[in-house]
Structure 1
Amino acid sequence: MFLCNDESIVGGKVTFFLCKEDSLQIFIPITGGIDIVANGKGFALETGQVQVLNMGKGEVLEISNPYQNDVINYMQFGIKTEMFLMRASEMLFGFNFEKDQNQLLEIISNPKLPFKLSMGIFAGREEVIYKMQSLNHQFYAFIIDGAFEIEGRLMHPRDGLALWDMEQVELEALSNNAIIVVLELTPNP
């Protein structure tokens, strides 16, 4: 992974993103939604959705807030990739925290992708053990809201943590409605 952005855009405004690496860009709206234009094609995302775009070095994204009077917030993760097996492709995934609380939901898991993405919303004192697919994979967690203890480390909102050489990772929510994003990254060959 080479990019983790926690971005906000005021009502009706636009921002641009220049891709500096051949990569997979992952967008997760946190509050509100975002509109993305990539190579003339538009994507509209709302909370409960994750969009993955395969981008080449030098490509530019236009990211805008479709709401005139509200500030929106979204997460963007960038993962370097050597393979352009899905060039110009896009992948849209959905999730529903309401029906699946207190567990990590596997949102994206595809052997062709160099990552696995999970998310969850937890009540206080709920615990989960994340089992790594391989010992040589890397673990990255980002706290959207609330507090967690991850492998004995206290994590607050907007904190991130990278771990490696782990078979499993213990997570415990320390507050109600605690939200976490977990990426398991496959090292480049």
Structure 2
Amino acid sequence: MKTVLHKANTRGHANHGWLDSHHTFSFASYQNPERMHFGVLRVLNDDQVAAGQGFGTHPHDNMEIISIPLEGDLEHKDSMGNVATIKEGDVQVMSAGTGIYHSEYNKNEDKEVKFLQIWVFPNTRNVEPRYDQISIRDIEKKNSFYQVLSPNADDQGVWIHQDAWFHLGKFDTGVSDSYTLKLKDNGVYVFVLEGEVEINGQKLGKRDGYGIWETESFELKSLTDSRVLLMEVPMSLGKIGR
């Protein structure tokens, strides 16, 4: 088993007033050659947007973009004609493909919105752009991991153009759960949303990241009440569409 540890306080940070963002991997003005990506996981931004503020219309192409709100409401508009609001308990995905424009705004004038912005390199380029979102309310489980993203349109959760699987888990203190990788050449990036956990003797706190690869499975123990995101992705950049 190989691992890499990214403590929360080692992330890149940018505070633009309306946006307070922490970057696990190189992004915008934060450039760290040792923190470019984890396999095909390219961006993991922990964003906090001020009341009534947001990202103006901007373009994307050939990227799978996943948004996971943690608090508040985020309004989405795009060039495909989609207008939607995502909130805590939702998962949103966009396949940018040949190119899209979109905007994201904090829908509330009285409180901030917090969400994860995640980019994954696709295994197929120049696909037709698409948008989807789900509520996890009907699929979430207590004290075990449950799937919220996969490569399969007919599987549980949203889907993307990549051999990737995302799971969420909300655990009580002292509870353990194991995770078995779907593909042997994949790795898992563990991101602790709340609380403290332990994996193979490594203790992780809130917003710590921990990459694991060259293993078939691992066990996570919750040291306090916790919430954790697992992102299983191909480790080889050869899995990126050309």
TM over 0.5: yes
Kindly provide the CA deviation profile for residues 120-146 of structure 1, in whole angstroms up to 9, marking residues without a partner as x. 110011100000012101111111111
Kindly provide the CA deviation profile for residues 98-155 of structure 1, in whole angstroms up to 9, marking residues without a partner as x. 9621010111223464211110110011100000012101111111111111232111
Preserved CA contact (<8 Å) 1:146 1:175: yes
1:184 equivalent in structure 2: 232
Unmatched tracts of structure 1, length 5 or more: none
What is the distance in 2 between the residues matched to 1:18 and 1:152? 43
2:136 equivalent in structure 1: 95
Unmatched tracts of structure 2, length 5 or more: 1-40, 153-159
- 1:75 corresponds to which letter in structure 2? L
Query: Within 5 Å, which residues of 2 pair with 1:50-89?
Result: 50-56=91-97, 59-84=100-125, 87-89=128-130
Find the partner of 1:108 among 138, 143, 149: 149
2:204 equivalent in structure 1: 155
Preserved CA contact (<8 Å) 2:63 2:96: yes
Preserved CA contact (<8 Å) 1:140 1:162: yes
Preserved CA contact (<8 Å) 1:22 1:82: no
Q: Percent identity?
A: 19
What is the distance in 2 between the residues matched to 1:173 and 1:32? 26
| 1:137 aligned onto 2:178 | no
Preserved CA contact (<8 Å) 1:21 1:80: no
Q: 1:61 to 1:159 in 2, by over 3 A?
A: farther
More strand by share: 1
Q: 1:17 to 1:163 in 2, by over 3 A?
A: farther
Deviates more, 1:49-58 or 1:6-15: 49-58
What is the distance in 1 between the residues matched to 2:198 and 2:133? 30
Residues matched between the structures, number: 188
Preserved CA contact (<8 Å) 2:62 2:96: yes
What is the distance in 1 between the residues matched to 2:95 and 2:66? 9
Q: CA deviation at 1:56?
A: 4.2
- 2:232 corresponds to which letter in structure 1? E
What secondary structure does 1:22 align onto? coil
Preserved CA contact (<8 Å) 1:16 1:60: no
| 1:5 aligned onto 2:53 | no
| Stretches (4+) displaced over 6 A | none
What is the distance in 2 between the residues matched to 1:150 and 1:18? 39
Preserved CA contact (<8 Å) 2:169 2:229: yes
TM-score by length of 1: 0.89
What is the distance in 2 between the residues matched to 1:165 and 1:57? 33
